[in-house]
Structure 1
Amino acid sequence: MATIADVAQVAGVSASTVSYVLSGKRAISAATRARVEEAVSRLGYRPHAGARALASSRTGVIALVVPLHDAVDVGVVMQFVRGVVTTARAHEHDVLLLTQEETAGLERVTSASLVDGLVVLDIGVDDPRVGVLARLGRPTVLVGIPRDPHGLPCVDFDFAGAARTAVAHLAALGHRRVGLVGATPSSVRRGAGYADRLCEGFLAGAADAGVATATAPCAATAEGARACLAELRARLPAPTALLVHNEAALPHLLGALAAEGARVPADLSVVSIGAPGAGERALTGLEVPALDIGRSAVEALLERIDAPRAGETRLLSSPLVDRGSTAPPR
């Protein structure tokens, strides 16, 4: 394996000059830089991670904070994780995974300078981690939008806009009674911001379109799906369409409808908002671009590792795709 001394010998310079070229800490002439870079390429030299960290005061590692609480859908979370990890590797960064819900892990990795920055998933409306992260001062990007981001940048899907798009699609087909199958009860209790924003968009879009609505959370079980349907129908007799924002409950919901003999879309139209690949049946709906959100979060973090920048919120969107699960009401 080539060493910095080997690079220096081939380039005809000192080892310190090679270090300066690699770190960018001193101005080096274009001719000398070209010789060093050519030697690095020819020898396949890669600086040792520890040496890079000492030279640049950086670790080349970012933390990915993914609290694995009871309500988490691991399949959905892994799509976000994949977006983060693949983008980090493309920028020659490794990823340290933190799965605790408490803040102690955040303080540990930042106080010990183990990471250059953090991407934090599953941010709640009043998430206690946000204030801690702002205080710690390490570059951080939140995936989710808290009530008060404390100046930290946020990246997420435009759940409110997606709900408005879904309602507009159903209203254009003639539906005037639409139920929302919402997030799991545990997600609602812990203040999942995406659930609140989607519900707000749903109600606003329905009001604009003159659509009557009912909303209910849905546990990700067969019993939970039946209970959700019963609650929606009690609040909104004979709904002609459902908007479903609950990947884990979706198979149970479709199973409950099939057991009743309800045909989709002949008897009931269904629109889904969720991560790609949710459920066995492809439904009309909007996909949450989990890979793109993960990629965008890492890119925003790396920008802030390079230079401080003001916090901003970026919302990603996706188009509604008609897969044949909606039709005009009978």
Structure 2
Amino acid sequence: MVKIDDVARHAGVAPSTVSYVLSGKRTISEQTRERVMRSVRTLGYHPHAGARALASNRSNVVALVVPLRSGIHVPVIMQFATSVVTEARTFDHDVLLLTQDEGVAGLQRVAGTSLVDAIIVMDVELHDNRLPALRALKRPAVLIGVPEDASGLTCIDLDFTAAGAVCLNHLAGNGHRRVALIGSPPEVYKRETGFATRLLGGFRQAAGQRRVKVSAYPCEPTEAAAKAVVEKLMAERPRVTGVVIHNESIIGHVLNAFAHKGAQVPDDISVVAICPDEQAEQARPSLTSVAIPADELGRSAVRMLMGELARGEHVSSTTLLPPKLTERQSTAMLVG
């Protein structure tokens, strides 16, 4: 059986350093931590869970609250979950999944016991009813999303306000003066979900600055809804030449609906999407897009939690990742 001393010799560090890396009790340099974890994986070392918990007074489990409900594109949520699980394992932590429906009661249930050491919360609303409970928790918590009042909280997200502006500015820079946003399902805006509300706000603000005429169309995540929205858009705004899509579920359906109406992308309609890079690359034509950095956000959230666990104190902060637009085949300069 591999022991902690074996890992220490293999990594060229003291046994106490291995212990600190696994328990998170002290801050260890990233280079040393990675060397220790490589040795752990190479040797197949598995610390005894019960002894580990008794020694560290921790469960070595992180709770992840995922939004499995209507209006949410599950494949993207699973990208977030996979990144959290993968990064948590590098810190010798497992992940307990909670659903959004468990709400405040679910947070209090896991935080009031020894089930988890820390919590990551997704799908944050601007006026989220879980915020008072999160502020009162005696365990570290990180939000992937930013509420209107982020005081006392640790948050990380893509800067969706800037993302909306980047999309609009790209189209405006190509000469498009009439642009539409085909957005998230209506219930997402009704809940004032942060990512959708902020992107729409950034889109409209940039349009005002660039003097571009814009309109917005929420869309349910179905083929029939996408077809109906495209028909409504083309009937109400026949002079629109640019479209931003912020709804991963319907991107293919929207492109098909434009083609069915005889509008070719990008000759007649330039399209920008907010979606994972692989989805943009696989579309036909490939889509100019702003990437959703699910992997970076999930991993960063875990590292923030582990930093707070190691320090033994909470430091509120908000981190917004700048949007990155990649130009592909779906946008073109407007001629004439």
Instruction: Give the structure-1-normalised TM-score.
Output: 0.85
Where 1:128 maps in the other structure, the secondary structure is coil
Question: In the aligned structure 1, how far is the partner of 2:167 from the partner of 2:256?
Answer: 22
Contact 2:277/2:289, CA 8 A, preserved across alignment: no
CA contact (8 A) 1:213 1:236 kept: no
How far residue 300 of structure 1 moved from its aligned partner, in angstroms, is 0.8
2:319 corresponds to which of 310, 314, 317: 314
Q: Evaluate the alpha carbon distance shift between residue 44 and residue 328 of structure 1 in structure 2; reply closer, same or farther with a 3 A threshold.
A: closer
Residues 54-106 of structure 1, C-alpha deviations (whole Å, 9 max, x = no match): 11111111111113112221101011111111111111111111124222221
Quote the residue 2:306 is aligned against. Answer: 302
Are the structure 2 counterparts of residues 86 and 165 from structure 1 closer, same or farther at C-alpha, using a change threshold of 3 Å?
same
Q: Distance in 2 between matches of 1:163 and 1:257?
A: 22
RMSD, aligned CA: 2.9
Q: Hey, what's the Cα distance between the residues in 2 that align with 1:64 and 1:45?
A: 26
Kindly tell me the number of residue pairs found equivalent between the two proteins.
309
**Of the two, which has the highest radius of gyration?**
1
Query: Is the 1:216–1:231 contact (alpha carbons within 8 Å) kept by the matching residues of 2?
Result: no
After TM superposition, the structure 1 stretch with the greater mean CA deviation from structure 2, 109-118 or 302-311, is 302-311
* Counterparts of 1:261 and 1:277, CA distance in 2: 26
Could you tell me which amino acid in structure 1 is paired with residue 213 of structure 2? Answer: A
In the TM superposition, what whole-angstrom CA distance separates every residue of 1:5-27 from its partner, at most 9, and x where no partner exists? xx69xx9xxxxxx8899469xxx
Residues 140 and 309 in structure 2, CA contact (< 8 A), matched pair in contact too: yes
Match 1:285 to one of 268, 286, 289? 289
SS of the residue corresponding to residue 168 of structure 1 reads: helix
Q: Deviations over 1:27-72 (max 9, x none)?
A: xxxxxxxxxx9xx999976431111111111111111111311222
Query: Is the alpha carbon distance of 1:272 and 1:123 closer, same or farther for their aligned partners in structure 2, counting shifts above 3 Å?
Result: same
Q: 1:322 to 1:107 in 2, by over 3 A?
A: same
Q: Does the 8 A contact of 1:121 with 1:142 survive in 2?
A: yes
Is the Cα contact below 8 Å between 1:65 and 1:119 reproduced in 2? yes
Describe the SS at the equivalent of 1:297: helix
Residue 333 of structure 2 corresponds to which residue in structure 1?
A: 328
Distance in 2, Cα, partners of 1:51 & 1:120: 29
Distance 1:309 1:328, change over 3 A: same
Asked if structure 1 preserves the Cα contact closer than 8 Å seen for 2:140 and 2:314, the reply is: no
Cα distance in 2, alignment partners of residues 75 and 45 from structure 1: 33
Paired position in structure 1 for 2:195:
194
Q: Distance in 2 between matches of 1:21 and 1:226?
A: 57
Q: Structure 1 residues 262 and 49, CA, compared in 2 at 3 Å: closer, same or farther?
A: same
Contact persistence 1:141–1:153 (CA under 8 A): yes
Q: Which residue type is aligned with residue 303 of structure 1?
A: G
Output the CA distance in 1 between the equivalents of 2:17 and 2:178: 68
Residue identity in the other structure for 1:310: V
Cα-to-partner distance string for 1:102-122 (whole Å, 9 max, x where unaligned): 222211111112111001111
1:238 counterpart residue number: 239
Structure 1: which 5+ runs fail to align? Answer: 12-17, 25-36
Contact conserved, 2:71 with 2:221, CA < 8 A, in 1?
no
CA distance, structure 2, for counterparts of residue 199 and residue 149 of structure 1: 20
C-alpha deviations, 1:287-330, integer Å up to 9, x for none? 11110010111111111111213211111124211111111224
Shift of 1:202: 0.5
Deviations 1:146-190 (A, max 9, x none): 122341110101111112111111111111001111111121122
CA distance in 2, matches of 1:65, 1:225: 29
Question: 1:15: which partner in 2?
Answer: none
What does residue range 74-153 of structure 1 map to in structure 2 within 5 Å? 74-101=74-101, 102-153=103-154
CA distance in 2, matches of 1:20, 1:278: 42
- Residue 204 of structure 1 is matched in structure 2 by 205
1:224 is displaced (CA, Å) by 1.4
Query: SS where residue 115 of structure 2 aligns?
Result: coil
Residues 176 and 92 of structure 1: is their aligned pair in 2 closer, same or farther, counting only changes over 3 Å? Answer: same
* Secondary structure in structure 2 of the residue aligned to 1:87: helix
Alignment partners' CA distance in 1, 2:233 and 2:43: 67
- Counterpart CA distance in 2 for 1:210 and 1:269 is 18
Q: What is the alpha-carbon distance in structure 1 between the residues aligned to residue 169 and residue 43 of structure 2?
A: 60
1:211-263 deviation line (CA, Å, top 9, x unaligned): 11111101122331233234444654410100111101211111111110110
Aligned counterpart, 2:215: 214
Q: What amino acid maps onto 1:244 in structure 2?
A: I
Partners of 1:20 and 1:228 lie apart in 2 by 59
